[in-house]
Structure 1
Amino acid sequence: MKTSTAEHLIGNSSQKIRLNEKIGYATGDLACNFIYQTVSSYLLFFYTDIFGITAAAAGLMFLIVRIVDAILDPFIGAVIDKTKTKYGRFRPYLLYGAFPFAGVAILCFTTPGFSDPVKLVYAYTTYILLSITYSVINIPYAALTSAITQDNTEVVSLTSVRMLFGNIGGLIVSFGVPLLAGIFTNMTGEKDTGWQITMTIMGIFGAILLLVCFYTTKERVPLNHSKEAEINFKDIWIQLKTNRPLIIVCFFFILNFGVNSIVNSVGIYYVTYNVARPELVKWYGLMGTLPALILMPLMPLMYKWMGKKKLLFTALLLKAIGLLALFIIPPTFIPLVFVGRLITALGTLTAGAFTWALIPETIDYGEYKTGKRASGVIYALVGFFFKFGMAIGGIVPGLILAKFGYIANQTQTPEALHGILMTLTVIPAVFVIIELAAIFFYNLDEKEHKRILSILKTRQ
């Protein structure tokens, strides 16, 4: 019997995923981290200390860009869900979006010779374009997990490999970007040129890796092609109304990755001014990502041993302890500062990886409740909260640093140093404690998820 293209792409949604495909899929997160982690960790610093925008203006810009995201992302997700090509629904966006994504990122780290008002317009334009292209890449990339497999064990395994590669990307960014920016600055004699060359390297490698991801993955999960199962824009609101696990996961994302972004973006200020050792920035960043090389391969075992709620609670508790330890530790005690950073990283990396692993089961739950497998819509909603959380790393530090009197490239006042410390430690710790309480409202346990999958298979 002749097999259609769609049937060929679908395959078996519960089969074991080969390691080479898991690695291929994970290269997509490595690529996104090469580009967007550089933006998340260093764009605020680039804007304030090199590009020449005040901390308050940069913080406001991060907020406005997130408002644009709020309007566009769910609609981008709905469009992705309606995509039908010979490559599937999600993979084509990796193929056609890779180099535009890299190109716009390079423009963000380019300082044009314009007057200050025009430079600000340039910054807004390039950052908004970057945010849109990131959505067009990252929403389908993230949704691809739910199209590769529905097996929960395989989802955790796939996500663990993905997070391992993503954190390797974060490690390379944390250590390599300041190192390369310093090298190229010394070579050219210009800070802005040094950062532009560095972003060009990260962008090109990121684009190539997205193409690798496209060519090594396969969409298998069957779709309901009936007219009633077609995705419409109103499904955005239907999912928000009926999908309680999704609401909790979105809440996790805005808090968890908001905290991560604050800690990452303020870390360079903390090491440069509070510790007064700017040459340690790359090592401080490295300490925040290095534990992933041990933790990510252990994720499936930890999940099997502890279960989702206990694992997530333990990780967030470690994160809060590490942040509060950094508040207490004097910045001159550098070994203890790195210990506090390590404890924070252990909790941060585990919680972040497992939060991503929860999304496919919210897609299953949404299909169970509505009859529609709205993967793109759900990942768009999660992606909005993820990016809004990431933007908090620019909004909150920018506004607070301005309030405490931070002025770039000079010795900071005691008040400004206290503002940096509070923004790095106490404020994020409060968000983490709120997130700890939210765990108890997540109502989709392993037993319930298996029951839902059984019902979905019967329907198919």
Structure 2
Amino acid sequence: MEKPTPSLTTEKVPMQEYLAYFAYGFGQCFSFGIVGSFILIFYTDIVGISSLVASVIFLIARLWDAIFDPIVSAFIDKHRSSTGKFRKYMKFAPIFVIVSTIACFVAPDVDMTGKILYAGATYILWGTCYAFSDIPFWSLSTVISASGQARTNLLTTANLGVFGGIGAVGFIFPLMLTYFKQHSAPTSSYLISVAILMVVGFVLMEIGYRYTKERVISDPAEKITTRDIVEAVKANKYMFIILIIFFLKIFMEMVNNIIIYFFTYNLANAGLMSIFGLIGTASALGFFLIPVLTKKYKKIQLLRCLLVADILIRIVFFLTGYRNVVLVFVFLAITQCLYSATGPLVSAMLAETVEYSEVKTGKRFEAIVFGGQTFASKLAIAAAGALTGVLLSVLGYQANATQSSTTLTGLFIIISILPALGSLLRLLMLSKYDYTETEFKECQRIIAARKQGHQA
């Protein structure tokens, strides 16, 4: 019998599939947003764990991820079938993501050592479960369609769901906490709020699983070894550049960690966090311009323009100060829009490196590429959490107390000017990147020629 030939279909992706793909990312990032933005303050102000101990927990978790995430990626790339590679994981992973997220916000009635051990165990469990969901989710974009423009559209949709989900959590979660704190203890208010949001997230992820389809099918008879994977990683130099650029989101993750402290102590109104969450959700609407712009301009050109604009706006933000609350939110809205718009561009650039690796090695490894993105993302969150904990200690932060002027100034510096450093570093990394749409299309041409030769 003739071996099945891998598909390079460019079949049009229906709108309902875009909506389903959006729904999965939106629901999944309820978990990401809750853990990314609220776990540190839950540890310090609710459980009573010091910020330095929390930093150690984050770092240990990422050391574990450094070992485990590549194993997950390699496992997914090795185990292919005639029906696809990724959706089968999206079928069961949401259950574990929901349970592990809820577990992170349980405050056990034990001594401090027990609380620290429980916090560490559940946080590491969350990262492990999340890998089985996030890696297949992003990798799916490369097999729904082989079209470069369709892939950009899909990754824009995915990023719209991601930023929208995180922003929605930032808006809704503080409101839920305020409501439930009126009727229950602070620990219970966190647990109830998380549980409700994660049930909704599960429903959205289930929709994403049911109504997406894999069209680019790899040959299930093709044998993939660990050596093949190692060679593919070594050959994909552009993947490493993009992953470093992706990791540099650490500066914005620090803003996400600090912003609630800024609203609580600098602006004396923790309720403003909901407005910031709404801004995060609204900023994702600009994603609809990305597919239009990428038809006229190269992604690297658009990314450079966004980064330069972010640096300039943040300098003005810092010089303006935070006395005028309206101006603060104007600057937050502008910088959030600029940062959000980089997401689809970076993800699309990363996805295109799959073909570069395939040309170099002759084999396709989507999960390895997007496993790198998942790891870089979690590493950025953990490092941001660890650095935030250290900075809070250095700045003299005292939980539930009046903060000194030094602490308040430090909090403002972090949310205003620090991310400009991240944008500058990203620009420096882009100076080494010369793999554009032109090279990507050439890689696709080479792969198509190889497939035709194989079929003949």
TM range (shorter): over 0.9
CA distance in 2, matches of 1:68, 1:195: 26
Question: What is the one-letter code of the residue matched to 1:242?
Answer: A
Cα deviation, 1:381-415, whole Å, max 9, x if unaligned, reads 22211211122221111111111111111111112
Match of 2:379 in 1: 388
CA distance in 2, matches of 1:170, 1:13: 33
Match of 1:359 in 2: 350
| TM superposition shift of 1:305 | 2.6
Match of 1:290 in 2: 282
CA distance in 1, matches of 2:157, 2:47: 36
| TM superposition shift of 1:64 | 1.3
Match of 2:206 in 1: 211
Match of 2:158 in 1: 162
CA distance in 2, matches of 1:202, 1:321: 37
Match among 94, 116, 119 for residue 123 of structure 1 = 119
Match of 2:226 in 1: 233
CA contact (8 A) 1:239 1:378 kept: no
Question: What is the one-letter code of the residue matched to 1:72?
Answer: F
Match of 2:431 in 1: 440
| TM superposition shift of 1:20 | 0.8
CA distance in 2, matches of 1:239, 1:258: 27
Match of 1:57 in 2: 53
Q: Cα–Cα, structure 1 residues 436 and 71, in superposed 2: closer, same or farther, change >3 Å? A: same
Report SS of the residue matched to 1:138.
Answer: helix
CA distance in 2, matches of 1:215, 1:332: 49
| TM superposition shift of 1:226 | 5.3
CA distance in 1, matches of 2:291, 2:186: 43
Q: Cα–Cα, structure 1 residues 416 and 171, in superposed 2: closer, same or farther, change >3 Å? A: same
Match among 62, 66, 71 for residue 67 of structure 2 = 71
CA distance in 2, matches of 1:407, 1:345: 28
CA distance in 2, matches of 1:85, 1:243: 25
| TM superposition shift of 1:154 | 0.3
Is 1:280–2:272 an aligned residue pair?
Answer: yes
Percent identity over paired residues:
30
Match of 1:202 in 2: 197
| TM superposition shift of 1:185 | 1.3
CA distance in 1, matches of 2:19, 2:98: 21
| TM superposition shift of 1:235 | 4.0
When the two structures are aligned, how many residues end up with a matched partner?
A: 451
Match among 15, 21, 30 for residue 11 of structure 2 = 15
Q: Cα–Cα, structure 1 residues 426 and 137, in superposed 2: closer, same or farther, change >3 Å? A: same
CA RMSD between the two structures: 1.9
Q: How does 1:102-113 map to 2 (within 5 A)?
A: 102-113=98-109
Cα deviation, 1:38-66, whole Å, max 9, x if unaligned, reads 11111111111112111111112111111
Q: Cα–Cα, structure 1 residues 3 and 14, in superposed 2: closer, same or farther, change >3 Å? A: farther
Report SS of the residue matched to 1:290.
Answer: helix
Cα deviation, 1:80-118, whole Å, max 9, x if unaligned, reads 112235652111111111111101100101111011000
Report SS of the residue matched to 2:278.
Answer: helix
Cα deviation, 1:115-163, whole Å, max 9, x if unaligned, reads 1000000000000000000001101111111111121110111122222
CA distance in 2, matches of 1:205, 1:11: 35
CA distance in 2, matches of 1:68, 1:451: 38
CA distance in 2, matches of 1:164, 1:24: 12
CA distance in 2, matches of 1:249, 1:222: 25
**What runs of 5+ residues in structure 1 fail to find an aligned partner?**
none
Cα deviation, 1:216-237, whole Å, max 9, x if unaligned, reads 111111314454xx33333443
CA distance in 2, matches of 1:319, 1:187: 42
| TM superposition shift of 1:259 | 2.1
Q: Cα–Cα, structure 1 residues 78 and 275, in superposed 2: closer, same or farther, change >3 Å? A: same
Deviates more, 1:417-426 or 1:366-375: 417-426
Is 1:368–2:359 an aligned residue pair?
Answer: yes
CA distance in 2, matches of 1:198, 1:86: 41
**What runs of 5+ residues in structure 2 fail to find an aligned partner?**
452-456
Is 1:426–2:421 an aligned residue pair?
Answer: no
Question: What is the one-letter code of the residue matched to 2:354?
Answer: I
Deviates more, 1:416-425 or 1:45-54: 416-425
Is 1:141–2:131 an aligned residue pair?
Answer: no
Match among 321, 324, 333 for residue 330 of structure 1 = 321
Match among 94, 97, 100 for residue 98 of structure 1 = 94
Match of 1:153 in 2: 149
| TM superposition shift of 1:421 | 2.0
**TM-score, normalization: structure 2?**
0.94
CA contact (8 A) 2:51 2:389 kept: yes
Match of 1:349 in 2: 340
Q: Cα–Cα, structure 1 residues 87 and 27, in superposed 2: closer, same or farther, change >3 Å? A: farther
| TM superposition shift of 1:428 | 2.4
CA contact (8 A) 1:24 1:212 kept: yes
Deviates more, 1:76-85 or 1:175-184: 76-85
CA contact (8 A) 1:98 1:208 kept: no
CA distance in 2, matches of 1:185, 1:322: 37
| TM superposition shift of 1:328 | 2.3
Report SS of the residue matched to 1:110.
Answer: coil
Q: Cα–Cα, structure 1 residues 233 and 202, in superposed 2: closer, same or farther, change >3 Å? A: farther
CA contact (8 A) 1:287 1:342 kept: yes
Report SS of the residue matched to 2:271.
Answer: helix
Question: What is the one-letter code of the residue matched to 2:114?
Answer: V
Report SS of the residue matched to 1:29.
Answer: helix
CA contact (8 A) 2:51 2:390 kept: yes
Q: Cα–Cα, structure 1 residues 234 and 383, in superposed 2: closer, same or farther, change >3 Å? A: farther
CA contact (8 A) 2:262 2:411 kept: yes
CA distance in 1, matches of 2:381, 2:231: 26
